[in-house]
């Protein structure tokens, strides 16, 4: 018997990395999964893997910055599967990079939209549907950069700190509805978003593994394991939490973003699939 049998879960940013690993893990544990992403090629590949392991799943192209897209994503999920139990607001980018006095307003605003407004929209449109289901779980991807200075770029760090506090405030509002609201704060996780910009998977693993007491880079499965716990009935007494999954980084690791050997240019770091296709 799976830990998510009978549950319906929506995961944004599910075409690769943390979202992709979580979609596969949820499907393996019996959930009906909606794989949501702008990356149709990657999203459909994850969908096929979910189905191949016997899971029920569908792909939905969605721009998490668009309120119309987010609302349609969740309402179509209910239409397809009859209910909604779990929403994982995971889609993300690196965003604006560089010194504060060289950061454009446009890059700042785009970063906040993808990393913060998307979480707000996911919560806003999930809550009424979760109430109809009798409760459920909202999970969002925050970051250690939202807890500790020096773990990420300025705009990214500000957005992730806001995700942590939004998680806490919304959890208080909807606890009476049996809706749990939590976020996960990953440390150095070796995803395409990171490895594409650090010289590949092996180079990223070496760099990230040297930054925290647990001497390896984190993997998408490390985060998927925590997301599974938060989505399952094993976490019914957990809400308003920021679950740190960082190999001990926040307890006493190095400087994740400004470490020697991590050459980060000024500019904007978009989705991993755009970068791999040649976008800067």
Structure confidence at residue 18 (pLDDT): 95
- Mean pLDDT lowest among 192-196, 225-229, 242-246: 192-196
Cβ atoms of residues 10 and 73 within 8 Å = yes
Q: Rounded to whole angstroms, how far apart are CA atoms 107 and 138?
A: 28
Torsion of CA 210, 212, 215, 216, to 10 degrees: -80
Per the DSSP assignment, residues forming a β-bridge with 185 are 244
The mean pLDDT value for 160-178 works out to 98
- Of all residues in the chain, what percent carry a pLDDT higher than 70? 83
Cβ atoms of residues 37 and 70 within 8 Å = no
Structure confidence at residue 136 (pLDDT): 98
Distance of alpha carbon 153 from the chain centroid: 17
Q: How confident is residue 259, by pLDDT bands cut at 50, 70 and 90?
A: very low
The mean pLDDT value for 222-251 works out to 96
Mean pLDDT of all residues in the chain?
A: 89
Q: Where are the domains of the chain?
A: 8-270
The residues, ordered by sequence, that sit 6+ positions from 106 with a Cβ below 8 Å of its Cβ are: none
User: What residues are labeled active site?
Assistant: 156
The model carries a pTM of: 0.89
Q: Which of 91-95, 162-166, 265-269, 270-274 has the highest mean pLDDT?
A: 162-166
Helix, strand, coil in percent for the chain, rounding step 5: 50, 15, 35
Give the number of other Cβ atoms within 10 Å of residue 179's Cβ: 23
pLDDT at 62 over 90: yes
pLDDT at 203 over 80: no
Q: To 5 degrees, how large is the angle CA 125–CA 29–CA 74?
A: 15
pLDDT at 190 over 80: no
Indicate if the alpha-carbon torsion angle 260, 213, 16, 122 is positive or negative.
Answer: negative
Element (H, E) at 89: strand 86-89
Structure confidence at residue 129 (pLDDT): 98
Which class does domain 8-270 fall in? alpha beta
Structure confidence at residue 192 (pLDDT): 60
Q: How confident is residue 264, by pLDDT bands cut at 50, 70 and 90?
A: low
Q: How confident is residue 280, by pLDDT bands cut at 50, 70 and 90?
A: very low
Structure confidence at residue 223 (pLDDT): 97
- Of all residues in the chain, what percent carry a pLDDT higher than 90? 74
Q: By CB neighbour count within 10 A (0-12 exposed, 13-18 middle, 19+ buried), where does 186 fall?
A: buried
Q: How many residues does the chain have?
A: 280
Q: Each residue of 87-145: pLDDT tens digit? A: 999 999 999 999 999 999 999 999 999 999 999 999 999 999 999 999 999 999 999 99
């Amino acid at each position: 018997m799976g830990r998510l049998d009978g549950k319906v879960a929506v995961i944004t940013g599910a075409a690769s990395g943390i979202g992709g690993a979580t979609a596969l893990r949820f499907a393996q544990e019996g959930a009906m999964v909606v794989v949501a992403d702008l990356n149709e090629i990657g999203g459909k590949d994850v969908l096929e893997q979910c189905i191949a392991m016997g899971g029920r799943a569908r792909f939905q192209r969605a721009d998490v910055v668009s309120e119309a897209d987010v609302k349609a994503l969740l309402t179509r999920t209910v239409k397809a599967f009859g209910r909604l139990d779990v929403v994982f607001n995971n889609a993300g980018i690196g965003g604006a990079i560089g010194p504060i006095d060289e950061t454009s307003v446009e890059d700042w605003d785009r970063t906040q939209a993808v990393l913060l407004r998307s979480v707000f929209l996911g919560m806003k449109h999930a809550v009424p549907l979760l109430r109809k289901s009798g409760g459920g779980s909202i999970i969002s991807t925050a970051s250690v950069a939202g807890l500790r200075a020096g773990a990420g770029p300025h705009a990214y760090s500000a957005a992730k700190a806001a995700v942590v506090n939004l998680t806490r405030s919304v959890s208080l509002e909807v606890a009476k509805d049996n809706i749990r609201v939590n976020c996960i704060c990953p440390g150095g996780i070796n995803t395409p978003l990171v490895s594409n910009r650090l010289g590949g998977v092996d180079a990223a693993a070496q760099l990230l593994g040297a930054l925290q007491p647990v001497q390896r880079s984190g993997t998408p499965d490390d985060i998927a394991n925590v997301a599974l716990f938060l989505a399952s009935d094993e976490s019914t007494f957990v809400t308003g939490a920021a679950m740190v999954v960082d190999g001990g980084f926040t307890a006493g690791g190095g400087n994740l973003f400004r470490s020697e050997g991590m050459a980060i240019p000024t500019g904007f770091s978009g989705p991993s699939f755009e970068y791999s296709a040649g976008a800067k």
